[in-house]
Amino acid sequence: MSDKGTLAIYWAASCGGCEIGILALNEKILDVAAAFDIVFCPCIMDTKARDVEHMPDGHIDVCLFNGGIRTSEQEYMARLLRQKSKVLVAFGSCAHEGCIPGLANVTNRQSIFETVYLDSPSTDNPGRTLPLPEVQHNGFHLALPVFYDTVRTLGQTVKVDYYLPGCPPEADRVWDAVVAILEGTLPAPGSVIGAQTTVCDECTRTRSEKKIKAFKRTWQVWPEESQCLLEQGLICCGPATRAGCQSRCPTVNSPCIGCYGPNAGVEDQGARLITALASVIDSNDAEEVERIVREGVPDPVGTFYRFSLAHSLLRRAALVPDEERHELPLPRAAQ
């Protein structure tokens, strides 16, 4: 065994883009390899959970964990890697705040199973078989992980030392984090490694007074290239999103969609975005405001919480919506 540090990279409910995000370090990946032995990374190496189980506690110096927690297997791996790692980093938007997989929190296990295994046009399932956590087959006991109703973030599951936001994290920010780890200049545990301010602070577009009579969707306009996108009626998540990407999307004439999560000090990205957008609507008439909102934001959850639903204050949509409750009228207290 060399005197290098040990590094683990794991994925849970994620898309694999975070591994690509690490590879985007390009030739600097060689510096990472010079500093660390990669001891566990199912994406690129033949390593198994058993290998991790066999390690003494705290054997892994740094674990970059990407993905949210959707199944009991992912929860098990999160807890196992927590136990075996000195520093556990929630790497990328999924581990940090649920990201796109977390948007499934607008629905539930039953509906997801019905869509995936029964209703989708390409599915052929005449027996209408749905996955079960346990089954007896030819005398064997077979088990699958339990699929949860709600996607949780890594931080809602185990103690996380650092968060590295982004979908995926920008290579430069990953490198900053690697340097901070190697030089021992990490911030206080529990904090986000990255910028404190918003995407607007990095955006080079010209800003003046914002007054909007209607929100437009990206396919409806060809945005002017130097003016603030929000002023042009496009919903840009910049005012409520953490900096760190050099405003990559606005630079190429596309509004920010919020993948870096809320900026420092903000608990709920959607609430902050609502606050920001409410200030730019140019109407003091309640009915007109309602029309602008209804017509301009057809999908409020997907717009305000595209990346952060699992990490928001409510975390999910109601399992039983108010509209579907058919409870008996409850007794009143004496008048």
Binding site residues, another protein, CB under 8 A: 50, 53-57, 72, 75-76, 79-80, 83, 106, 146, 148-150, 267-268, 270-272, 274-275, 277-279, 281, 283-284, 286, 289-290, 293-294, 297, 299-301, 304, 312-323, 325, 327, 329-333
Phi, psi dihedrals of residue 234, rounded to the nearest 5°: -85, 140
Residue pair 224/232 in contact by the 8 Å Cβ criterion:
yes
Nearest CA among 248, 70, 235 for reference residue 156? 70
Nearer to another protein, 179 or 278 (CB): 278
Maximum separation of any 2 CA atoms in the chain, in Å: 78
The smaller minimum CB distance to another protein, of residues 55 and 104, is found at 55
- Closest CB to another protein among residues 190, 300: 300
**162-164 and 191-192 beta bridge pairing:** parallel
Question: Three-state DSSP class for 310?
Answer: coil
The minimum distance between CB 27 and another protein, in angstroms, equals 37
CB of 255 to another protein, least distance (A): 17
Q: Which is nearer to another protein, 120 or 275 (CB)?
A: 275
**Shortest approach of another protein to residue 286 CB, angstroms?**
6
Find out whether 105 and 315 touch, Cβ atoms under 8 Å.
yes
Contact 31, 4 (CB under 8 A): no
In terms of CB distance, is 125 or 279 closer to another protein? 279
CB 182 within 8 A of CB 37: no
Residue 95: which of 141, 48, 158 has the closest Cα? 158
For the bound state, the minimum distance from the C-beta of residue 111 to another protein, rounded and expressed in Å, comes to 12
CB of 89 to another protein, least distance (A): 22
Q: Which residue has the tokens 């603030």?
A: 228
Residue type, 89: V
Give the nearer residue to another protein in terms of CB position, either 98 or 169.
98
Calculated CA dihedral for residues 44, 49, 54, 59, nearest 10 degrees: 60
Long-range Cβ pairs for the range 316-324 (8 Å, 24+): 316/105, 316/106, 316/149, 316/150, 317/105, 317/106, 317/107, 319/108, 319/149
The distance of closest approach from Cβ of residue 6 to another protein in the complex, given in angstroms and rounded to an integer, is 16
In the complex, minimum distance from the CB of residue 245 to another protein, in angstroms, rounded to a whole number = 24
Q: Is the peptide bond before 42 cis (omega within 30 degrees of 0)?
A: no
Residue closer to another protein, measured from CB, 118 or 320:
320
**CB-nearer residue toward another protein: 96 or 152:** 152
Considering the complex, what minimum distance in angstroms separates the CB of residue 239 from another protein? 14
